[in-house]
Amino acid sequence: MSNLTLNDSRLQMRVMHILDSLGRGGAETLALDVCRNARACGLDLVFVATGGGELEEEFARSGAEFVRLRRELPVDLSLAARLREIVDARGIRVVHCHQAVEALHAYLATRGSGVRRVLSFHLCAADAKNRLALKFLAPRMDANVAVSRDLLSCLESEGGFRVGDNFHVVHNGVDAARLAPTAPRLREELGLGAGELLLGMVGNFYADARKDQLTVCRALPALFNDVAEARFVFVGGHDDDEGARLYDECVDYCRERGIADRVQFLGRRADVADVLASLDLFVFSTRADSFGIAAVEALMLGVPSVVSDIGALLEVTGDGRYAATFRAGDAADLARVLVELARDPARRATQAAEGREWARAEFGIEAHIMNLRKLYESL
């Protein structure tokens, strides 16, 4: 990987970002944060969406120029031609993509143009079709971005990518302004008293079980036995039959263990910042992750946190300095950590203050965009 240096010029750099869908996901939320803050950080950003989703109106109001196109085919040559028209007309210098389908069309649109191409990797695993496409595209990008050092290592060891000079690590960023709670009423919604402790996890139920809510459920009986005032909420939905099966397994486990009255499954929520701000303790249990955006958001809001001891989460918590850790998949170890923190409000307060300062300094959206600028200018 190369070491990048930043040109001190504050001249606006004209860049295009492309996304194929605008659902409420990690890459989409990151892109929206970038759109809202790009101009203030020295990027003249044109954002192109080739598909829709629930965040479309927010992108249109983000402050970046918003262009809505439509991809009709898996490989849509008319879309590539339209992208080339936009690139030429607006004087785009860098095109940045986040998925294989966008990168393929960006490649077709910019061949022979001198425009630089950047592709972000947000996950290590991909299905066979996308894996084949990414293997074709990565050498043809001017830069490939891994969102953590742990992901870069995974792309090399498990993905089979040659992470040479055109691979770089640029950590994701989070816009603190987006996280400002508006009216945290979750405790009131749940009917909790002032003395009750509210713990929670934010994460969808995925078919590949990358988020491990079941280990949390298995830790809860021991927590509830020792901390009578504790309650727990899960925020997140599911998109397919396998995700639904995992969700049902968690619900059934809590009912069978007689703790269903102390555990709430809230489904998807648009008020995640308000949910996090309502928690006394955030839990993020996962067997695989490339960055851990929910964990960073909790830290940034000053919520004391407990995370699995996987590489990416250790990376974003300062090797566990700013969050408590437990052995991934080990319910007994998680229960032990939860009981210790539930009984130690002073430790929670210290962790919350230090974690907030760390996350805002390391993973604020301004730092992310500045690192993108460094990368773009180096090209």
Is 36 a domain residue?
Answer: yes
**Secondary structure (DSSP) of 134-195:** HHHHGGGSSEEEESSHHHHHHHHHTS----STTEEE----B-TTTT--S---HHHHHT--TT
- Tell me, what CATH number does 310's domain have? 3.40.50.2000
**CA 33, CA 85: separation in Å to the nearest integer?**
26
What distance in Å separates the CA atoms of residue 347 and residue 328, rounded to the nearest whole number?
Answer: 22
- Asked whether residue 324 is domain-assigned, the answer is yes
Here the tokens at position 203 are 């994460």
63, 145, 148, 247, 327 from 124: Cα distances, Å? 32, 12, 11, 24, 21
Asked if 217 contacts 296 with a C-beta cutoff of 8 angstroms, the reply is no
Same structural domain, 353 and 371: no
Predicted structure pTM score: 0.87
Phi, psi of 202 (to 5 degrees): -115, 125
Shared-domain flag, residues 164 and 282: no
CB 102 within 8 A of CB 130: no
- Report strand pairing: 94-97 vs 13-19: parallel
Q: Exposed, middle or buried: residue 194 (CB in 10 Å: 0-12, 13-18, 19+)? A: exposed
Rounded Cα distance between 341 and 321, Å, is: 14
Task: Report the candidate in 201, 148, 207, 203 with the shortest Cα–Cα distance to residue 334.
Answer: 201
Same-domain status, 60 and 195: no
How many separate domains does the chain show? 2
Nearest to 370 by CA among 7, 3, 1, 2: 7
- Residue 2 included in any domain: no
Distance of alpha carbon 215 from alpha carbon 24, whole angstroms: 25
- Asked if residues 312 and 152 have their Cβ atoms less than 8 Å apart, the reply is no
The verdict on 43 and 92 lying in the same domain is yes
Q: Are residues 220 and 249 in the same domain?
A: yes
**Same domain, residue pair 89 and 154:** yes
Q: What are phi and psi of 77, to 5 degrees?
A: -65, -30
Residues 85 and 108 in one domain: yes
Pairing verdict, β 65-68 and 167-169: unpaired
228: which 2 tokens?
Answer: 């009578």
- Contact, 293 vs 174, CB < 8 A? yes
Amino acid letter for position 179:
L
Q: Which domain holds residue 69?
A: 13-175+364-378
Tens place of pLDDT per residue across the chain (379 aa): 444 444 444 447 799 999 999 987 788 999 999 999 999 998 999 999 999 999 999 999 999 999 999 999 999 999 999 999 999 999 999 999 999 999 999 999 999 999 999 999 998 877 888 889 999 999 999 999 999 999 999 999 999 999 987 999 999 999 999 898 787 789 999 999 888 999 999 998 987 767 899 999 999 999 999 999 999 999 998 877 777 899 999 999 999 999 999 999 999 888 889 999 999 999 999 998 999 999 999 999 999 999 999 999 999 999 999 999 999 999 999 999 999 999 999 999 999 999 999 999 999 999 999 999 999 999 9
